[in-house]
Structure 1
Amino acid sequence: MRIAVIGAGLTGVTTAFELSNRGHEVVVFERRSGIAAEGSHALPGVAARGLWLAHAAVGSPTGLPAPVGRGQWLWQWRRRRAAQHPALAQRLAAQEALDTVGAARRATWQAACELTYDRHTGVVAVLRRPADAERARALLDAHGDRLRGARWVDAAALATADPGLAPAVDVQGALHWPAGEAANGRQFAHAVKSAAQGLGARFACQMDVTALAPTGTGGWRVTRQRLADEADSGLASRQPLTALPDEDEDDSLPFDAVVLCSRAAVSRLVPGGRASGAWAAASQATVTVPLRDVQHASEAVGPHGAWMDPLTRVTLHRMGDRVRAAGPWQLGATRGARPDADAVQPLFAALEQAYPGATRTARAQLWLGSTMLPVDGLPVVGPGPQAGLWLHHGLGERAWSWSPATSAAMADLLEGRPADGIDVALLAPERLR
């Protein structure tokens, strides 16, 4: 099939690779000048099977970190209802399945394509309150047979799990995933893009899709406009429609299917796709800093893999010779291109408290990203409202860990096959309409 993929974040890139690997002709349209330039640019990249245990231990029953802030009351009400839904246990199982299948597919891709990107093992989630530590141990007792990769570590033994972690008097202990992973998600996206291109996928950047129209014969026409960078402002402006680079007369052919890998694209291009009470606009600040002594730095300096505080919803994780600190999702649309001091100060404080003196905070790179959060915390994977339209988005900060799994499920559904290892009914778009 000839398939258009709209959006070249982590989700779009992994979708392009999966479809190309199955022999489909894939063209990816991205309005920015490169891939992973918006919501995927500086996301935290942490993966572990059963990560929901850490968030449930501090009182988040959905197993995902709750955003902070006020407003969007309908979404917040629906989120509380989702936490009490009879299907909650199935949704937690779906998160575990996405963790498991995602890790397996990353390993398969790594072996097949020799992907090169910074990645490290070990995830630690510290618990500060005695009640939270007790709840975490109870959850491990209840689910440990199924989630064998997770274990409890007492505060005195935390150095065995993460040698670079400073002693903390207010930590009761931690959940530890020795095989959990931390990675540079943007490097991963570029490595997967190269692999997809080797399979024949084409990436058309600075190309804004403005309309989708059925052909009447089962295909779809994709109307797009090239965006040119203005030298004086750095912003993108619309120019007359231009043919894709390195394409010939087949540029005018329709596509057999279109996969939308961006919630913003769904809102603009799909009838009835505008935001509803099932989605909340949110932003996240991250800080990326180099380790202080790069030449002599080992995994005993800074995080071994990833460190999480589910109570404050701060995550620190290693990326080669750098460390990324990510804060909680803040309800509300992004304002400005950089986070303000109130958003980044807790990230610097967490770095200094957990790994004092390990990083050069004066050379920090700041980022403010935005997303739309689904009310039940699960991504959207499945058919759109019209035949030939497919939706694949809503992964948020789990994009690196889950997108290989959801991309495989998306390709299975598009090909009319059952998804392997994932209950796609829980991810179906209609659940949020």
Structure 2
Amino acid sequence: MKVTVLGAGIIGVTTAYQLAKSGHEVTVVDRQSGPALETSFANAGEVSFGYCSPWAAPGIPQKAIKWLFMEHAPLILRPKVDWAMISWMIRMLRNCTSERYAINKSRMLRLSDYSRTSLAEIRAETGIAYDERMQGTLQLFRTQQQLDASAKDVKALAADGIPYEVLDRDGCIRVEPALRHVRDKIVGGLLTPKDETGDCFKFTNALAARAAELGVQFLYGRTVKALDIEAGTVRGVLTDQGPLKSDAVVVALGSYSPLLLKPAGISLPVYPVKGYSLTIPIVDATRAPESTVMDETYKIAITRLGDRIRVGGMAEISGYTNDLGLPRRRTLEHSVTDLFPGGDPAQASFWSGLRPMTPDGTPVIGATRIGGLFLNTGHGTLGWTMSSGSARIVADLVSGRKADIDTSDLSLQRYG
């Protein structure tokens, strides 16, 4: 089958690779000059199979009000007259209940755990290197209240059989020795030992090269203008350089997926939530992290990537804007220097990207009411984490096979 994949980020490239392995003739289209040059370029670097939670959670509405007045807030809201933004926020608030949180987190854990095994298979069959480490994620709590509130996550992890360990102060230092310098600033943590780290940009580029060896054609510098639909079935896409015909199309355009789908009559509840990162060279390894530390107070991930520290986080709801706000840089610098002053922020590179978020935190994966049109988008902050599993699912569905895990609640149909 001839399949066109729209988007050459981590989701699009892993999807193309799995489709090619399944025997399809695959073409990838992206407006950039190469793979992973937008949201996948400089993300936090954490592959968090266990630390995997929806942003919509009990207590978030109350916390959001408090965050509006914080200097180093994890959530930044810049409201505007935008029905897509308003509708998305209303839907997200509806998911901020204990019942919905448990449902959403459970299916996210199901997908991420499947992605863990899928990523291991890719690593074994390709041998690609991407500054990978397999030392877990430490969710770090600065207050007893944060530690107590983690009980709901522990319950969900236990229910889904995901390994975890609740740590006291000394336990955190055992996992991340550099924290001994700031032991008085922490009270405990939650370790998910199966989590990994790695440079998403390096991985995506290396996998794109392997996909090309399998026959995948990459068309860079092309903008997709519209889907080519005839009699309820997709026939390909229209680009700024002419039409491309295919038997199936996979939309993996991240935050821009809803804009392409809307003219086709498909309403996709995905909205861009901007995140920021710093990439800092390490000058003192004894004061740098070993793996990923999630600073729960600021919702910022601090990750070791070879001889660099990647600091990423925050959620800014401001539409399709990609400016670099200096207050956001100060927040990232504050978190990392407060815990791990082993890097040199003066030499850091500053970046921002638009994460494609759904109101319930789970990506949208699967077929649509248009024949031959499939979606693989809406992964939010967990695109790197869920990419390998999502790609396997799409390859199975396109090929007419049953996926290895339950996908009944992953498609667009869950929104009615």
Q: Is the Cα contact below 8 Å between 1:267 and 1:274 reproduced in 2?
A: no
Structure 1 pair 137–264 and aligned structure 2 pair: CA distance change class (3 A)? closer
How many Å apart are 1:57 and its aligned residue?
9.5
Question: Does residue 309 of the first structure (1) align with residue 323 of the second (2)?
Answer: no
Query: Does the 8 Å contact 2:57/2:95 carry over to 1?
Result: no
Distance 1:369 1:142 in 2: 29
CA drift at 1:402: 0.1
Aligned pair partner of 1:195 in 210, 223, 230: 210
1:231 matched residue in structure 2:
none
Equivalent in the alignment of 2:278: 287
Structure 2 residue aligned with 1:124, among 138, 141, 144?
A: 138
Deviations 1:80-120 (A, max 9, x none): 21233855433221111122111101110111111111112
CA deviation after TM superposition for structure 1 residue 197, in Å:
1.0
Conservation of the 8 A alpha-carbon contact between 1:137 and 1:152: no
Q: TM-score, normalised by structure 2?
A: 0.87
- Equivalent pairs, count: 397
User: Cα deviation per residue 1:22-55 (whole Å; 9 max; x = unaligned)?
Assistant: 1110000011111111121111121334314797
- Equivalent residues of 2:54, 2:105 under 8 A apart: no
Partner of residue 175 from structure 1, selected from 190, 208, 219: 190
1:376-387 counterparts in 2 under 5 A? Answer: 376-387=360-371
Confirm or deny that 1:346 pairs with 2:331.
Answer: yes
Q: Does 1:149 align with 2:149?
A: no
Question: Which residue is 2:87 aligned to?
Answer: 74
SS in 2 for 1:174: strand
Shift of 1:350: 1.1
1:96 partnered with 2:88: no
The letter for the 2-side match of 1:343 is R
Question: CA 1:58/1:169 → structure 2, altered by over 3 Å: closer, same or farther?
Answer: farther
Distance 1:20 1:282, change over 3 A: same
Task: Write out per-residue CA displacement over residues 222-254 of structure 1, whole angstroms, 9 at most, x where no aligned residue.
Answer: 32224xxxxxxxxxxxxxx5xxxxxxxxxx873
Note closer, same or farther for the CA distance 1:410–1:221 as it changes in structure 2 (3 Å cut).
closer
Note the C-alpha offset of 1:217.
Answer: 10
Provide the residue aligned with 1:366 in structure 2. Answer: 350
SS of residue matched to 1:271: helix
SS of the residue 2:182 aligns to: coil
Quote the residue 1:397 is aligned against. Answer: 381
**Counterpart among 92, 102, 106 of residue 119 in structure 2:** 106
The answer to whether residue 408 in structure 2 is matched with residue 425 in structure 1 is yes
Q: Secondary structure at the match of 1:398?
A: helix
Q: Label 1:221 to 1:152 Cα distance change in 2 as closer, same or farther (>3 A).
A: closer
Q: How does 1:172-251 map to 2 (within 5 A)?
A: 172-214=187-229, 220-226=235-241, 241=242
Post-superposition Cα deviations, 1:299-352, rounded to whole Å, max 9, x if no partner, equal x54111101022311111111111111121101125454x22111101111111
Query: SS of the residue aligned with 2:354?
Result: strand
- Amino acid across the alignment from 1:2: K
Separation of aligned partners in 1, 2:237 and 2:343: 47
Cα distance in structure 2, aligned partners of 1:253 and 1:307:
44
1:255 aligned onto 2:246 = yes
8 A contact 2:232–2:371 mirrored in 1: no
Any conservation in 2 of the 1:20–1:201 contact (CA below 8 Å)?
yes
2:263: which partner in 1? 271
SS in structure 1 opposite 2:395?
A: helix
Flag the structure with higher helix content: 2
Give 1:70 deviation, angstroms: 5.0
1:321 aligns with 2:307: yes
Letter in 2 for 1:260: V
Structure 1 SS opposite 2:140 = strand
Instruction: For 1:319, give the aligned amino acid.
Output: L
Matched residue type, 1:163: P
- Looking at CA atoms only, which structure, 1 or 2, has the larger radius of gyration? 1
Matched AA of 2:92? R
Q: Which residue of 2 aligns with 1:83?
A: 96
* Residues 289, 360 of structure 1: 8 Å contact kept: yes
Structure 1: give runs of 5+ residues left out of the alignment. Answer: 227-240, 242-251
Structure 1 equivalent of residue 397 of structure 2: 413
How much is the aligned-residue C-alpha RMSD, in angstroms? 2.8
